[in-house]
Amino acid sequence: MKSLEELQAIYRLPLPELMHRAAEVHKAHRDYSDIQRCALLSIKTGGCPEDCTYCSQSAHYDSPVTRQPLMTVDEVRDKAQAARDAGATRFCMGAAWRSPKDGPEFDSVIEMVKSVRHLGMEACVTLGMLSDSQAERLAEAGLTAYNHNIDTSRRFYPKVITTRTFDDRIRTIQAVSRAGISVCSGGIIGMGETEEDRLMMLAELSVLETQPESVPINCLMPSQGTPLQMADEVDSIEIVRLIATARITFPNARVRLSAGRDRMNRELQILCFLAGADSIFFGEKLLTAPNPAASADAALFRAMGLPEPADCATTTCH
């Protein structure tokens, strides 16, 4: 658990000292070469009733995203298998729902989780708000982690989303933890929030009863038609500082360098790994937005002297 003041003291250290401390924590808890590769798939796209101002899938905005109904279990299994063959160890499935409805669609998601686990991969889903009974069914299906981002600070939250509250978010995270599923929760930077908001977000995550198993740090991918379409890019060193601060705050968690890598050069990504990031989304698409080509990631790993993932260009991963 860390207070805002403690986080500020860490974040504002001279950069070499901050990097050194983050590296010490990283080295003490994990092998540097162990960078997790997670593949991401949008299993139900667009038409979401929530008004998240960053999101291309909200029905409130006129974005170019084409709506797609829930994919079939067979389609998802094929995608997961291809991702596994390309070197992904975790398969994350996202649905543009406020919350899943019990019935045939939720039953299909349960089958998707089982089939991903059957392939020997970790399975993660992000489906919006969950009830206790839905969390329990996901746990029984063998779900590894549930992604539910708090996105930003409690005070900035109402400027980003009005159709649900920060506390709604926390309640789902608690239901997930109660069911015994690991929590994946982080946020987005570059939405107009301040440095203090970013650190308040980490402080909120650090007071959760069960510490998150993974903390995704997403850089906003401005989506056409959304209120944040013209947002400025985040300063590189601010990204590195936040990742290092997250690494020190959550020594046992995967800190995931998430959305926004397609706008980062190789050197910035390597700085993020040196700051303690130890997980990436891998594959040419996030949910609706682009991600670096698999061949670029293979080159990145080669440049770092780390074991390379298979090149998707030579497999059928998409």
- CA–CA separation, 153 vs 203, rounded Å? 9
Binding mask 271-300 for ligand SAM (x = CB under 6 A): ----------------x-------------
Distance from the first to the final alpha carbon of the chain: 40
- Per-residue tokens: 111: 């089958």
Which sequence positions are flagged as catalytic?
48, 52, 55, 92, 124, 184, 256
Please report, as a single letter, which amino acid is at residue 291: N
CB of 201 to ligand SAM, least distance (A): 11
Look up tokens 């939250």; give the residue. Answer: 157
Site for ligand DTB in 93-152 (CB under 6 A): 94, 126, 147, 149
CB of 255 to ligand SF4, least distance (A): 21
Does position 152 interact with ligand SAM (CB under 6 A)? The reply is no
Find residue 255's DSSP bridge partners: 215
CB of 266 to ligand SF4, least distance (A): 29
Q: State residue 267 phi and psi, 5-degree precision.
A: -65, -40
- CA–CA separation, 82 vs 173, rounded Å? 30
- CA–CA separation, 318 vs 312, rounded Å? 8
From the list ligand SAM, ligand SF4, ligand DTB, none, pick the one residue 58 interacts with, judged by a Cβ distance below 5 to 8 Å according to partner type. Answer: ligand SF4
CB of 285 to ligand DTB, least distance (A): 7
Find residue 285's DSSP bridge partners: 290
Does position 218 interact with ligand SAM (CB under 6 A)? The reply is yes
Residue 26's contacts (CB-CB under 8 Å, 6 or more residues apart) are: 32, 247, 276, 278
Pairing between β-strand 254-257 and β-strand 214-219 as defined by DSSP bridges = parallel
- Per-residue tokens: 205: 């995550």
Site for ligand SAM in 72-131 (CB under 6 A): 94, 96-97, 126, 128
Q: Which residues bind ligand SF4 (CB under 6 A)?
A: 48, 50, 52, 55, 57-58, 96, 128
Q: Which residues bind ligand SAM (CB under 6 A)?
A: 48, 54-55, 57, 94, 96-97, 126, 128, 148-149, 151, 188, 218, 220-221, 223, 259, 287
Q: Which residues bind ligand DTB (CB under 6 A)?
A: 40, 56, 92, 94, 126, 147, 149, 186, 216, 218, 221, 258-259, 286-289
